[in-house]
Amino acid sequence: MQDIPPKHKKVFETISEAGAAIDQDVFVVGGYVRDFYLNRTKKEEDLDIDFVTIGSGIGLAEKVAELLGTDRLSVFKQFGTAHIKYRDMDLEFVGARKESYRRNSRKPIVEDGTLEDDQLRRDFTINALSWSLNEEGYGELMDPFHGIQDLKKQLVRTPVDPLQTFDDDPLRMMRAIRFATQLQFDIEEQTYQGIEEMADRIEIISKERIIEELNKIVLAPKPSIGFAHLFKTGLLHHFFPEMVKLHGVDEVRGVRHKDNFWHTLKVLDNVADMGGDLWLRWAAVMHDIAKPATQKFVQGTGWTFHGHDALGAHWVKRIFRRLGLPLDERMRYVRKLVRLHLRPIALVSDEVTDSAVRRLIYEAGDDIDDLMLLCRADITSKNDYKVKQYNRNFDYVEQKIEEVEAKDRLRKWKNPIKGDEIMEALDISPGPVIGDIKDAIKEAILDGKIPNEHDAAFEYMMSIKDEYIG
Q: In this predicted structure, which of 90-94, 106-110, 127-131, 216-220 has the lowest mean pLDDT? A: 106-110
Is the pLDDT at 1 greater than 90? The verdict is: no
CA pseudo-torsion sign 119, 120, 125, 126: negative
Instruction: Compute CA distances 112 → 80, 95, 304, whole Å.
Output: 10, 7, 61
Q: What is the pLDDT of residue 372?
A: 93
∠ Cα 338 340 342 (to 5°): 100
Would you call 84 helix, strand, or coil by DSSP?
A: strand
Residues 144 and 119: beta-carbon distance below 8 Å: yes
Q: Helix, strand, coil % (nearest 5) of the chain?
A: 55, 10, 30
Tens-digit pLDDT profile for residues 242-295: 999 999 888 787 777 889 999 999 999 999 999 999 999 999 999 999 999 998
Kindly list the structural domains of the chain, giving each domain's residue range(s) and its CATH number in brackets, ordered by start: 1-150 (3.30.460.10), 274-408 (no CATH), 419-469 (no CATH)
CA distance 49 to 200: 32
| C-beta neighbour count of 95 within 10 angstroms | 21
Mean pLDDT on 431-437: 92
Asked if residue 28 lies in contact with residue 61, where contact means CB atoms within 8 angstroms, the answer is no
Give the model confidence (pLDDT) of 17-37 as tens digits.
Answer: 999 999 999 999 989 999 999
Instruction: Give residue 2's pLDDT.
Output: 67
Bridge-based pairing of strands 130-132 and 108-112 is unpaired
How far is 216 from 31, CA to CA, in rounded Å? 15
368: nearest Cα among 404, 326, 416: 404
Query: What is the per-residue burial (b if ≥16 Cβ within 10 Å, else e) of 395-406?
Result: eebbebbeebee
pLDDT (tens digit per residue) in 314-357: 999 999 999 999 999 999 999 999 999 998 888 876 567 788 88
